[in-house]
Amino acid sequence: DTAVSQTPKYLVTQMGNDKSIKCEQNLGHDTMYWYKQDSKKFLKIMFSYNNKELIINETVPNRFSPKSPDKAHLNLHINSLELGDSAVYFCASSQYLGGAGETQYFGPGTRLLVL
């Protein structure tokens, strides 16, 4: 069983479209995250949710909106896609928020290409 899963794995779309990426974790974790791997290969945090509550919201355009229907799911909606949104997006989860020794478990990534 995949611990953290993302769908789709690949997403090719036109500029201006609206798309969603889904993330599910079956680890029973309380906290989930979205990261973006940028062109320089940095992994940068976008959002973090703890028990469906938004905890971290980095400087991300308003076109990006996370939604957490329950603590096992954290979806990422992107409106009016732009060329610069092309990247690999990773979902992650951790057991709880705050423990110094807490480990984050990553999904396989979604490769988004905006044409």
Partner 1 sequence: ILNVEQSPQSLHVQEGDSTNFTCSFPSSNFYALHWYRWETAKSPEALFVMTLNGDEKKKGRISATLNTKEGYSYLYIKGSQPEDSATYLCAFRTGTASKLTFGTGTRLQVTL
Contacts to partner 1 by CB under 8 A:
4, 40-45, 48, 55-56, 58, 90, 97-98, 100-109
Quick one: 3 or 115, whose CB is closer to partner 1? Answer: 3
Cα-based distances in Å from 62 to 8, 50, 65, 81: 22, 20, 7, 11
> Is beta strand 110-114 parallel, antiparallel or unpaired with respect to 10-13?
parallel
Phi, psi of 83 (to 5 degrees): -55, -40
Quick one: 51 or 79, whose CB is closer to partner 1? Answer: 51
Separation of alpha carbons 39 and 66, rounded Å:
22
Quick one: 75 or 90, whose CB is closer to partner 1? Answer: 90
The two tokens of residue 13 are 């779309």
**CB 58 → partner 1: shortest distance, Å?**
7
**CB 66 → partner 1: shortest distance, Å?**
14
**CB 106 → partner 1: shortest distance, Å?**
4
